[in-house]
Amino acid sequence: MRRRQYLAGLSLASSALLAGCSGSDDTTATPDSESSDIRREAFREALTENGITVRELAVDDESHVNLEYEPAEPTEESVRNSIDAAARAFFDRVYGESGWAVERLDARVVIDGTLVATWQMESEWIEQYLEGRISREEMAARVENSVERHDQ
């Protein structure tokens, strides 16, 4: 495994990652199982609307979202776009109106059943952004820096 930046342009496009998010809403998350299921399904729907095929989506006991998905096309550009879309969807679910009380997203990108990349996004990064402690660019860079390419 070696680290490779799939998201070379993500910091430039980071405003797209957070488009429409002002950070002014104060939300309270409820860890309730039913509402967590609703948020998980809303996350799944946001991914599929972006052409992402969800292979696995689960939340473990430690509130880590485990996602395995296939991008719309088997290209590096599509992998980059899928990471951006999934990060944006995760941000929207955590930050959103009802808030999703999870700690982080661990994602695995597969193409034709083969793992091609892994990446993560922490809910703490979203909180830091909303509190003004980090910029959009810093949050996007953290996602970008977490990407590891898995060579075949």
String of DSSP letters for 79-120: HHHHHHHHHHHHHHHHHSTT----SEEEEEEEETTEEEEEEE
CA distance 122 to 106: 9
The answer to whether residue 4 scores a pLDDT higher than 50 is no
| Helix then strand then coil, % of the chain, to nearest 5 | 40, 20, 40
- CA–CA–CA angle 95, 69, 108 (5° rounding): 85
Please provide residue 39's backbone torsions phi and psi, each rounded to the nearest 5 degrees: -65, -40
Side chain identity at residue 82, one-letter code: S
pLDDT-derived band at 96, boundaries 50, 70, 90: confident
Whole-prediction pTM value?
0.79
- Tens of pLDDT, residues 13-68: 444 454 444 333 333 344 456 677 888 999 999 999 999 999 999 998 879 999 99
The answer to whether residue 150 scores a pLDDT higher than 70 is yes
Residues 6+ apart with CB under 8 A from 98: 27, 29, 30, 35, 39
What average pLDDT score do residues 119-130 get?
A: 96
- CA–CA–CA angle 99, 66, 97 (5° rounding): 10
Least confident of 20-24, 77-81, 87-91: 20-24
The answer to whether residue 2 scores a pLDDT higher than 60 is no
The confidence score (pLDDT) of residue 44 equals 96
14: exposed, middle or buried (C-beta count within 10 Å: 0-12, 13-18, 19+)? buried
